[in-house]
Amino acid sequence: MKIVTVVDDENYIVPLEFGNSIMVIDSDNKDIKEYENPGFGATHGGKERAMAGIISLRPDAIVVKEGTLCPGSYYMSRGRMKYIPTGHEKLDEVMKNLKDVSEQAVPELDPIMYQE
């Protein structure tokens, strides 16, 4: 499974516009590739720009926390990937629990996860 998440310099999972990197995890071999986040630091439309970049990578799922997505970025991605809600704070925690994390993928999110 190809899983993405957006992280900051310290590898904390952050809202799409606050992370400078999009991390792509291959859950089968645990490889990680890093991509520049096109929405990083944008004062308007950052989450949507970041999501457009994520969609271009064709992931199977995205790791999200409450507030990671906005309605626009959620609806851009809905039906294109699954969502993995998590309580993990850092990429390292996701990697340590990758099997359990990947099993949590769902096709839709509760609105509380993407409301502004």
CATH number at residue 41: 3.30.420.130
List, in sequence order, the alpha helices (H) in 3-102.
Answer: 46-56, 71-77, 91-96, 98-102
Q: Find out whether 58 and 82 touch, Cβ atoms under 8 Å.
A: no
Query: Average pLDDT in the 21-45 region?
Result: 94
Segments forming the whole domain that contains residue 26: 2-113
**How many structural domains comprise the chain?**
1
- The burial of 41, by beta-carbon neighbours within 10 Å (0-12 exposed, 13-18 middle, 19 or more buried), is given as exposed
pLDDT tens for each residue of 97-115? 999 999 999 999 999 999 8
At 10, the pLDDT band (50, 70, 90 cuts) reads very high
